[in-house]
Amino acid sequence: MRRIEILTFDQAQLLDVAGPLQVFASANDLAAAKGIALPYQMVVMAEKTPVLTTSGLELTAVPLPGNESIPDTLIVAGGRGVNAACENVTLVKWVKDRAKLAGRTASVCSGALLLAETGLLNGKRAVTHWQRCDEFAKRYPLVLLDPDPIFVQDGNIWTSAGVTAGIDLALALVEADLGRDMALAVARQLVVFLKRPGGQTQFSAALTLQEGDRHFDRLHGWIMENLSKTLSLEVLAEQACMSPRSFSRHYRQKTGRTPARAIEDIRIETARRLLEEGLTVARVSRRCGFGSEETMRRAFMRSLGTNPQTYRQRFSV
């Protein structure tokens, strides 16, 4: 059995602990269903127990182990409490020493700050939650910070981006341990991507648009329901009860993009979801209003750097 140790602390992010933990637990469940040996032993650890997570839920953890046990994988959670953890000299030293015993060491979200505090990330590529990237870069200039990936592996050190990226990281670890078939089976059981496309800076198009003026919220809902139609500037302006010129100006001011760009972003996002569900490129092109498969192909190449057929082959379940 591979020993997976997850380090937590007061004011850790609950999902940073529970997300990876469930991935390994699901791998055990699937192994048990097949009548084969369980691949993982999971241990949640803390300097003091119980710990209070940022969600208000308390977690019971085992005390920090010594050299009597050897971890296959050490995972460090993140959360608001990571700053205090970085100032805890005893804990920082324990993480550094424990990482020397571990076959591999990983962090979830802002847990990368605790790894960086030990010096383990110096000279290595790493990622952390997008909201902490500026702070991280200033505090740890020797780390090669890459703010976009979902997770990064550099040697035996793995770091992941914000919160749910810990699930992506754990799936990658399962794939490295047990192969793609097992990792894919776990991903399907949890109803998540095995390899999530894009990076953490690629937020939902519809969600990003909602950060603009609420005047356009109803319009965005209408767009989502009418993607197969011709969505010209005049049509959108009429829905917004504005003149085309006024609508174009106000829309760009409030959302930070042109109406045409917003429509394309929403179409691409919807097309990705449908392709992942296994629909054909031709059908998706019609449902999303691209007009032709070639128009859809060009939009995908501009936005994602790949064509729809390749995307479907790689990500469809």
Place of tokens 């006024």: 246
Length of the chain: 317
Place of tokens 């699901």: 26
Q: What number of CA atoms fall less than 13 Å from residue 225's CA on the CB side?
A: 7
Element (H, E) at 263: helix 259-276
Angle at 41 between CA 37 and CA 47, to 5 degrees: 175
Query: What CA–CA distances, in Å, run from 26 to 115, 123, 159, 169, 302?
Result: 27, 34, 21, 14, 37
Annotated catalytic residue, options 86, 109, 133, 288: 109
In terms of Cα–Cα distance, which of 165, 125, 145, 120 is closest to 16? 165
DSSP designation for 6:
E
| 133 flagged as catalytic | no
- Antiparallel, parallel or unpaired: β 151-154 and 2-7: unpaired
Write out the catalytic residue numbers. Answer: 109
